[in-house]
Chains A and B, each alone.
Chain A
């Protein structure tokens, strides 16, 4: 009896640590790419776009931002990838609040997607809302799991946030 209980317990313990599976097939990120047109670590975060969307630095001068944002695969189109394309557009147009709204919309569909939390953290950082940015970055970190490239990006942002505060 005791044995069965303990097996049950360890199984449930195992399941507790092994049940993570992303809800949407979107959690892969690939190493960052820096577009040629982007200025080097001066004004806005560099946005790289999967599709040939014209990328321009956000018009508002901001504090130095993370130099790179990890890119992810876009095939096939998912709700998150579709919305991220719109996030990029909104960022390029300088409408940061719209970009935040779109990221949140994506998060409602894929709430455990570390990259989406990271994007939101990044937008808040550019908006100089540092404490919110930190909250989102830390949440991104908690979902990043084994994604080392993303973890590194998030930690870099956290370092910048610590310096900005």
Chain B
């Protein structure tokens, strides 16, 4: 019984084993099939939705060429070099230029701007001194009125992966590059089905003959899969999975689609935390030029990089890079893609990589912080890191670079050395803002005296008392009431003002002098504290604060009388916003750092246009302007008169705070507004007034950026009137022997004690009429 059972068991086992194997086999087959289907679905889904995270690219304001433009040969050459233009005596295509003594010839590349497409065009730029004299095109285009260069890319906002690429379509890829890649990486690409057994054998043989690895066995399709699902895993299972994925890709997608994805995906270098992917970006990275402009030898070099981007790095390992390039070239000639002559010529060329990668990311950190702050209102971080947006900023590279280059030395020139014995603290710091005087566009920003400094951005974050910079707002408030004129006589006398908390406030003049009776304009020009307080208390502190608001300041202000002397904290950027309104004659245009945002293909998403709101009447503004031009001519900035001679008239105001902790100057010409702040981060004394510190730095920088003179038209109701040279409230002291001529509002006249208008001779009246024309 037992035996039988045993034998039956044996019999059962004999039958059971094949069945089990069969079942296992079937199960395995099903599992593999499910695996295959899973892989197939996955690769189809992933590849169809293949969308790379593209960093936002930030551009400086494009350079405009036109007759009369304020631009010299050095400025233009610098811009062209930043754009990667190649210097050539014979200009044959886009991206080339030549520079002579008084002319620059160039062929622009064209660009899709938010306001339309700028065509690629040949232009011959003639200079006269520091300006453009004329623009000529070729025979077809003739005289040109206006040409806009491509914008220089100054930074980008990278995704967290650090991957960066410039996506391209297959049409954007030079045929030589496609051929080179196919020749060296996978020359049976167009005939295999994703994996290439013959290719593997051939590579094996080729490598044996060459005595090293010159050709790989995996197809471009396999390499693409490897790149897309990047993993360090090198197991057999992984290999099989890759092969299956490659097969799946080939079944569902065309060769062109696969090749295009490869051209964009492939890893071609590392620069810090930024990974260079795709050939288009690699061309910019290694050669500083667009892919389409590269000659055969450079394309061959790029085609050799996928094998080992670090090993063949053209800057770090130039010898290996050239050897690799020549291997690529020889594969091309062997496979008939190029002629022997092309091969010989390209092979003989020396390696010509760009000296350093185009400046990105860390270029202008202070300005970039402002750009990010502006963008944060409309775009979240994810959109900026992934959607490949193009951000067009208002940064003027000529102004920014000039300022950055000169700022440190300019600050050093005014810095007061620490007195012996006292502990030496941090060096004097600085911030500077330069904006367009009529549009409010920020042209340049420095958050420190040091160029490229990435730390504390003082232009945006150092909020300091503005001192006498507030005085124009006090004067403007007075002029706008209609009860005051430039000739109003103020009392520059000691005063004690009771405060709400039973305390009192006793302001003093900076030099502890008292000037007695002074004109309103004089109080501003020579920055008299007592006269300003006299005026401000009459017109009311709340009204002055209201003027600050109208001029564009939106920060906190305590309504104390000390506001009249500038005990209100502002950042240099806020000061620039306020003085911007003065510079544009009472039209407030909020400061902007971003002009437009487009998609990667140039479609306009947003545009941030000029704002313009009239916040002060033109006649008051004209009077204020006249007084502020006098700051340079006879006021606190007159020491700079000689240095600024040919740039006058300019308008501006010095600012100094208690114990010389902050040294300010804010001034403007016809084209630009500049604000300079000097101080210590720990709020120590600087030993500098606005005049001895910030004004000198301002003058140095604004001279270099060639600030233009003010141009003002007198409104129709301005009447020029004579007043006595000396301000007085005593009518019997009136002295009209050598009167001053001031712009007053028609219908207003100076007080009898200073009015010199009565008793005009006929000739004087006629002369007066002429003057008013």
Which residues of A approach B to under 8 Å, CB–CB?
2-3, 5-6, 9-10, 12-17, 19-21, 23-24, 76-79, 81-83, 86, 90, 97-98, 100-102, 104-105, 107-109, 111-112, 120, 131-132, 134-136, 138-139, 142-143, 145
Task: Tell me whether A104 and B609 are in contact (CB under 8 A).
Answer: yes
Cβ of B769 within 8 Å of any chain A Cβ, yes or no, is no
Q: Are A139 and B145 in contact (CB under 8 A)?
A: no
Measured between beta carbons, the chain B residues less than 8 angstroms from A102 are 115-116
Are B66 and A109 interface neighbours, CB within 8 A? yes
Q: Give the interface of B toward A (CB within 8 A).
A: 64, 66, 68-69, 114-116, 143, 145-146, 436-439, 441, 584-585, 587, 596, 604, 607, 609-614, 618, 625-626, 629-630, 633, 649, 670-671, 709-715, 718, 720, 725, 737-743, 771-772
Name which residue of chain B comes closest to A120, CB basis. Answer: B610
Interchain CB contact under 8 A, A83 and B612: no
Given known A6-B738, A101-B114, A107-B438, contact A20–B612 (CB-CB < 8 A)? no
Q: Is the CB of B738 within 8 A of A20?
A: no
Q: Separation in Å of the B285 CB from the closest CB of chain A?
A: 31
Contact B145 A78 (CB under 8 A): yes
**Most B Cβ at <10 Å: residue of A17, A100, A131, A134:** A17
Q: Write the nearest CB–CB distance from A5 to chain B, whole angstroms.
A: 7
Q: Which residues of A contact B610 (CB under 8 A)?
A: 104, 107, 120
Whether A109 lies near B720 (C-beta < 8 A) is no
Residues of B within 8 A of A76 (CB): 143, 145
Partner of B738, one of A2, A83, A142: A2
- Whether A19 pairs with B614 at a CB distance below 8 angstroms is no
Residues of B within 8 A of A12 (CB): 629-630, 633, 649
How distant is the Cα of A9 from the Cα of B69 in the complex, in angstroms? 32
Contact of A17 among B69, B587, B771 (CB under 8 A): B771
Assess whether A139 is in contact with B612, with CB atoms less than 8 Å apart.
yes
Q: Is the CB of A19 within 8 A of B649?
A: yes
Cα of A9 to Cα of B614 in the assembled complex, Å: 29
Q: Closest chain A residue to B64 by CB distance?
A: A109
* Cα-based distance from A77 to B625 in the complex (angstroms): 34
| A108–B441 CA distance with the chains assembled, in angstroms | 10
Contacts of B715 in A (CB 8 A): 142
Q: Identify 11 new A-B residue pairs, CB closer than 8 A, beyond the known A16-B714, A19-B649, A135-B611.
A: A16-B743, A17-B743, A101-B607, A105-B115, A109-B64, A109-B66, A112-B670, A132-B612, A138-B614, A139-B587, A143-B713
Are A5 and B725 touching (Cβ within 8 A)? yes
Output the least CB separation between B72 and chain A (Å). 17
Query: Are B614 and A135 within 8 A (Cβ)?
Result: yes
Q: If A23-B68, A101-B114, A139-B587 touch, does A107 touch B740 (CB 8 Å cutoff)?
A: no
Residue of B nearest to A114 (CB): B713
Which residues of chain A have C-beta atoms less than 8 A from B69's C-beta? 109
Given the interface contacts A16-B712, A100-B609, does A24 sit within 8 Å of B68 by beta carbon? yes
A145 to B716, CA, bound (A): 9
B574 CB, min distance to chain A CBs, angstroms = 21
A86 with B116, Cβ < 8 A, contacts A16-B629, A107-B438 known: yes
B116 CB to nearest chain A CB (Å): 7
A6-B725, A138-B614 known; A83+B146 contact, CB < 8 A: yes
Chain A residue contacts of B143, Cβ below 8 A? 76-77
Complex: A86 Cα to B146 Cα, angstroms: 12
The 5 sampled A-B contact pairs (Cβ below 8 Å) are A15-B649, A16-B714, A102-B116, A138-B614, A142-B585
Q: How far is the CA of A111 from the CA of B625 in the complex (A)?
A: 18
A97 to B66, CA, bound (A): 24
Residues A138 and B738 in contact in the complex (CB < 8 Å), given A79-B146, A111-B437, A143-B713: no
When C-beta atoms are compared, the residue in chain A nearest to B708 turns out to be A23
- Tell me if B713 and A79 are in contact (CB < 8 A): no
- The answer for the CA separation of A144 and B742 in the assembled complex, in Å, is 23
Minimum C-beta distance from B380 to chain A (A): 23
Cβ contact of A20, chosen from B626, B712, B739, B742, cutoff 8 A: B712
- CB < 8 Å: which of B612, B709, B714, B741 contacts A135? B612
Task: Please report the C-alpha to C-alpha distance between residue A98 and residue B612 in the assembled complex, in whole angstroms.
Answer: 18
Task: Assess the A13–B742 pair: CB atoms within 8 A.
Answer: yes
Residues of A near B710 (CB, < 8 A) are: 16, 19
Cα of A101 to Cα of B598 in the assembled complex, Å:
13
CB of A139 within 8 A of CB of B614, answer yes
A15 to B632, CA, bound (A): 14
